[in-house]
Amino acid sequence: MKKIGQEFMEQTYYKNSEESDQDKGIEQPPLQLPYDEKANLIDLPEAKDIQIENISLRKSIERRKSLRKYSELPLTLEELSYLLWCTQGVKEIVSRPSTLRTVPSAGARHAFETYLMIRNVTGLKKGLYRYLAIEHKLVEVNMDEDIDSKVAQGCFDQPMMNQSAVTFIWSAVLYRMKWRYGERSYRYLHLDAGHVCQNLYLAAEDIDSGVCAIAAFEDEDINKCIGVDGEEQFVIYVATVGKRVK
């Protein structure tokens, strides 16, 4: 009997692909999930106006490593804005329509939504937010006092969860990718997650911070924390960020 992983790879060979909804002429899903327009929105500094340390890409790559201990220094709102722009920033909306962003994505589908568990960012209350990439704004999602402990529990209470200034939680909106690529979408979503998180690692070097990517989480629990169903939208990757300990 074949193992699940092997069966998944074989079933998602191109030769097993079915006609996609795009090929059927079905209208594509929206580029971004809707949000409650009555919710509290937070403007972010424009990325072009943010001043950062000018270090070379080579130096960033050489210094990059997973950082699991952070100082108590907060991130600034400008620094958070920079990290968000580097990981999901929208450079242009083209006529397909699709978004061209600061990271690659299969077919420019960009199926991710970015949630942020804010713990220590200047000017922001502790709570769970979502990044609106098209508007370059934040929207409050869950400001309950215990939401940070629930998110940490969803990641098996790994120590860095309770030390980070902010935890990035990327969810995949399945149909945004599946509309074009069918079942093979699951492959592309995981590849895209790697692109996004590596950008976070490298961008964090510019602001004297570090990242620890987390793939060990309890899917049902972390999906519940951000309010998604786990099927049509599900958490695909998590990463903590904080200032380096001097």
Does the predicted model carry a pTM greater than 0.85?
A: yes
Q: What CATH number labels 36-243?
A: 3.40.109.10
Tokens 């968000």 -> residue: 84
pLDDT tens digits in sequence order for the chain, 246 residues long:
789 999 999 999 999 999 999 999 999 999 999 999 889 999 999 988 888 888 899 999 999 999 999 999 999 999 999 999 999 999 999 998 999 999 999 999 999 999 999 999 999 999 999 999 999 999 999 999 999 999 999 999 999 999 999 999 999 999 999 999 999 999 999 999 999 999 999 999 999 999 999 999 999 999 999 999 999 999 999 999 999 998
